[in-house]
Chain A
Amino acid sequence: MIPAAFDYVRATSADEAISLIGEHGEDAKFLAGGHSLLPLMKLRLAQPSVLVDIGRVSDLSYIRDAGDHIAIGALTRHMDVERSPLLAEHVPLLAHAAGHVGDPQVRHRGTLGGTIAHADPASDLPATTLALGATYVAQGPNGTREIAAADFYQGFLESALAADEMLTEIRVPKMGGAGWSFQKFNRRAQDWAIVGVAAWRRNGDSGVALVNMGSTPILASSVSGALAQGASIADAAQLAAAEAEPQSDLNASPEYRVHLAKVLVRRALEQASA
Chain B
Amino acid sequence: MTDLQDRPAAVLGSRLLRREDPALLTGEAKYTNDLNVPGALHLVVVRSPYAHARITSVDVSAALDVPGVVAAYSGADLATVWAAPMPCAWPVTADMKNPAHYPLAVGKAAYVGDGVACVLATSDTAARDAAELIDVQYEPLEAVVDLEDALSDRVVIHDDLGTNKSYQWDLKIEGEPGQVDAAFAAAAYTVSERYVQQRLIPVAMEPRAVCAVPQPFGGDITMYSSTQVPHILKVMSALTLGIPEHQLRVVCPSVGGGFGSKLNVYAEELLCLALARKHGVPVRWNETRSENHVATIQGRGQIQHIELAADADGKLTAVRVRLLADMGAYLQLVTPGIPLLGAFLYAGVYDLPLAYDFSCTSVFTTLTPTDAYRGAGRPEATYAIERAMDALADTMGIDPMELRQRNFIRKEQFPYTAMTGLVYDSGDHEAAASKAAELADYAGVRARQAAQNVPGAKKVVGIGQASYFEMCGLAPSRVLASLNYSAGGWEAATVRVLPTNKIQVVTGTAPHGQGHETSWSMIVAEKLGVSPDDVDVLHSDTAIAPLGLDTYGSRSLPVGGVAIAMACDKVIDKAKKIAAHQLEADEADLEFAAGTFSVKGTPDRSLPLAAIAFEAFTAHNLPDGMEPNLEAHTTYDPPNFSWPFGTHICTVEVDTETGHVEVLQYVAVDDCGVQVNPLIVEGQVHGGVIQGLAQALFEEAVYDSDGNLKSGTLAEYLVPAASDVPSLTLGHTVTPSPTNQLGVKGIGEAGTIGAAPAVINAIVDALSHLGVRDMPMPASPHTVWNAINAAQHTTNGASK
Same complex for A and B? Answer yes
A residues near B (Cβ < 8 Å) are 1-2, 43, 103, 185, 187-191, 194, 250-253, 256, 259-260, 263-264
Q: Does B715 contact A (CB under 8 A)?
A: yes
Q: Is the interface of B mostly helix, strand, loop or mixed?
A: loop
Are A190's CB and B721's CB within 8 A? Answer: yes
Complex Cα gap A190–B714 (Å): 11
A190 contacts across to B, CB distance below 8 A: 721, 723
Cβ–Cβ < 8 Å partners of B658 in chain A: 185, 260, 263-264
When distances are taken between beta carbons in the complex, the residues of chain B under 8 Å from A187 are: 698, 718, 724, 780-781
Counting contact residues on chain B (CB < 8 A from A), the size range is: 20 to 34
With A and B bound together, what is the CA distance between A263 and B659 in angstroms? 11
What separation, in Å, do the CA atoms of A188 and B725 have in the docked complex? 9
Contacting pair A2 B125 (CB below 8 A): yes
| 18 residue pairs from A and B, CB less than 8 Å apart | A1-B289, A1-B290, A2-B125, A43-B713, A103-B721, A185-B781, A187-B698, A187-B781, A188-B698, A189-B721, A191-B718, A250-B702, A250-B710, A250-B711, A250-B716, A259-B785, A260-B658, A263-B658
Taking the nearest CB of chain B, how far is it from the CB of A260, in angstroms? 6
Give the complex CA separation of A188 and B694 in angstroms.
11
B698 near A1 with CB under 8 A, answer no
In Å, the complex CA distance between A187 and B785 comes to 14
Q: Which of A43, A187, A194, A259 has the most CB of B within 10 A?
A: A187
Which residues of the partner chain B approach A188 to less than 8 Å between Cβ atoms?
Answer: 698, 718, 720-721, 723-724
Report chain A residues within 8 Å CB of B713. 43
| Smallest beta-carbon distance A199→chain B, Å | 17
Give bound CA distance, A121 to B331, whole Å: 43
CB–CB B721/A256 < 8 A: no
Most buried by B among A43, A260, A264: A260
Known: A185-B658, A188-B698. A2 touches B785 (CB 8 A): no
Find B782's partner among A103, A189, A253 (CB 8 Å cutoff).
Answer: A253
Specify which chain B residues have a CB less than 8 angstroms from the CB of A256 in the assembled complex. 782, 785-786
Any A CB within 8 A of the CB of B660: yes
3 tightest Cβ-Cβ pairs between the two chains A and B: A189-B723, A188-B724, A263-B657
A260 and B720 alpha carbons, distance in the complex (Å): 22
A187–B718 alpha-carbon span in the complex (Å): 8
Q: Which residue of chain A has the shortest Cβ distance to B724 in the bound complex? A: A188
- B716 and A1 contact, CB distance less than 8 A: no
B288 within 8 A of A: yes
Interface residues, chain B, CB within 8 Å of chain A?
125, 128, 288-290, 657-658, 660, 698, 702, 710-711, 713, 715-716, 718, 720-721, 723-724, 780-782, 785-786
CB contacts (< 8 Å) of A263 on chain B: these are 657-658
Beyond the given A185-B660, A188-B720, A188-B723, could you list 20 further A-B residue pairs with CB under 8 A, ordered by the A residue number? A1-B288, A1-B289, A1-B290, A43-B713, A103-B721, A187-B718, A187-B724, A188-B718, A188-B721, A189-B721, A189-B723, A190-B721, A190-B723, A191-B715, A250-B716, A251-B782, A256-B782, A256-B785, A263-B657, A264-B658
Bound-state CA distance A259–B656 (Å) is 12
Tell me which residues across on chain A come within 8 A of B786, comparing CB atoms: 256
User: Which residues of A have CB within 8 Å of B781?
Assistant: 185, 187, 194
Name the B residues within 8 Å of A250 (CB-CB).
702, 710-711, 716
Complex interface: chain A residues within 8 A of B721 (CB): 103, 188-190
A259 cross-chain contacts in B, Cβ below 8 A: 785
Chain A residues with CB under 8 Å of B782's CB are 251-253, 256
Question: CA A264 – CA B718 in complex, angstroms?
Answer: 23
Chain A residues contacting B718 (CB-CB under 8 Å) are: 187-188, 191
CA distance A259 to B657 in the complex (A): 9
Q: Which residues of B contact A2 (CB under 8 A)?
A: 125, 128
- The smallest C-beta distance from A78 to any residue of chain B, in angstroms, reads 17
Q: Report the minimum CB–CB distance from A6 to chain B (whole Å).
A: 13
Contacts of A1 in B (CB 8 A): 288-290
Which of B128, B289, B658 has its CB near the most chain A CB atoms (within 10 A)?
A: B658
Residues on A with beta carbons closer than 8 Å to the beta carbon of B716: 250
Query: In the bound complex, how far is the Cα of B721 from the Cα of A188, in angstroms?
Result: 7
A256 CA to B788 CA, complexed, in Å: 13
Q: Contact check: which of B288, B289, B780 meets A251 at CB < 8 Å?
A: B780
Closest chain A residue, CB of each to CB of B660: A185
Residues on the B chain within 8 Å of A103, using CB: 721
**Measured between alpha carbons, how far is A250 from B718 in the docked complex, in Å?**
11
- Inter-chain CA distance A177–B226, complex, in Å, is 58
Contacts of B657 in A (CB 8 A): 263
B288: chain A residues within 8 A (beta carbon): 1
Residues on A with beta carbons closer than 8 Å to the beta carbon of B128: 2
Give the complex CA separation of A187 and B699 in angstroms: 11
Question: What is the CB-to-nearest-CB distance from A186 to chain B, in angstroms, rounded to a whole number?
Answer: 9
Contacts of A185 in B (CB 8 A): 658, 660, 781
Name the residue on B nearest A253 (C-beta): B782
CA distance A259 to B655 in the complex (A): 13
Cα separation A249 to B111 with both chains bound (whole Å): 23
Q: How far in angstroms is the closest Cβ of chain B from A229?
A: 26
Closest to B717 in A: A250
Q: Which residues of A contact B289 (CB under 8 A)?
A: 1
Complex CA distance for A2 and B123, rounded to whole angstroms: 13
State in angstroms the CA–CA spacing of A181 and B782 once bound together: 23
Nearest residue (CB) in B for A187 is B718
Cα A189 to Cα B290 with chains together (Å): 22
A220 to B658, CA, bound (A): 20
Q: How far is the CA of A43 from the CA of B713 in the complex (A)?
A: 10
Chain B residue with minimal CB distance to A188?
B724
* Nearest-neighbor residue (CB-CB) of B657 within chain A: A263
Chain B: which residue is nearest A190 at the CB level? Answer: B721
Please name the residue on chain B nearest to A43 by beta carbon. Answer: B713
Distance in angstroms between the alpha carbons of A2 and B127 in the assembled complex? 12
* Chain A residues within an 8 Å CB radius of B780: 187, 251
Q: With CB as the reference atom, state the residue of chain B lying closest to A4.
A: B129
Question: Once bound together, how far apart are the Cα atoms of A264 and B781, in whole Å?
Answer: 14
A262 CB to nearest B CB, Å:
9
A194 surroundings in chain B (CB, below 8 A): 781
B117 to chain A, nearest CB (A): 19
A1–B781 alpha-carbon span in the complex (Å): 31
A190 to B125, CA, bound (A): 30
- Kindly state the separation between the CA atoms of A190 and B698 in the bound complex, as whole angstroms: 13
Shortest CB distance A182–B (Å): 16
- Expressed in whole angstroms, the Cα–Cα distance for A189 and B724 within the complex equals 6
Give the distance to chain A from B662, nearest Cβ to Cβ, in Å.
12
Identify the closest chain B residue to A256 (Cβ).
B782
Question: Across the interface, which residues of A come within 8 angstroms of B710, CB to CB?
Answer: 250
Across the interface, name the chain B residue whose C-beta is closest to A192: B715
- Expressed in whole angstroms, the Cα–Cα distance for A187 and B657 within the complex equals 15
> For A253, what are the chain B residues with a Cβ–Cβ distance below 8 Å?
782
**Given the complex, which residues of B lie within 8 Å of A189, measured CB to CB?**
721, 723-724
Whole-angstrom distance between the alpha carbons of A250 and B721 in the complex?
19
For the complex, what is the distance from the CA of A252 to the CA of B780, rounded to whole Å? 9
**How far apart sit A187 and B724, CA to CA, in the bound complex (Å)?**
8
CB nearest neighbor in A for B128: A2
A190-B725 Cα distance, complex, nearest whole Å:
13
Identity of the chain B residue whose Cβ is nearest the Cβ of A252 in the assembled complex: B782
Task: Note all chain A residues with C-beta closer than 8 A to B702.
Answer: 250
Residues of B within 8 A of A252 (CB): 782
Please report the C-alpha to C-alpha distance between residue A22 and residue B787 in the assembled complex, in whole angstroms: 54
Question: A83 vs B154: C-alpha distance in the bound complex, in angstroms?
Answer: 61
The docked-state distance in angstroms from the alpha carbon of A149 to that of B495 is 72
Q: How far is the CA of A113 from the CA of B721 in the complex (A)?
A: 28
With most chain A CB atoms within 10 A of its CB, the pick from B660, B780, B782 is: B782
B583 → chain A closest CB, angstroms: 65
Q: In the complex, A256 Cα to B720 Cα: how many Å? A: 22
Give the nearest-CB partner of A195 in chain B: B658
Q: Which residues of A contact B698 (CB under 8 A)?
A: 187-188
Distance between Cα atoms of A194 and B715 in the complex (Å): 13
The smallest C-beta distance from A118 to any residue of chain B, in angstroms, reads 16
Q: Which residues of A contact B720 (CB under 8 A)?
A: 188
A65: min CB distance to chain B, Å: 33
Least CB separation from B659: chain A residue:
A256
Give, as a whole number of angstroms, the nearest-CB distance from A128 to chain B: 21
A256: min CB distance to chain B, Å? 5
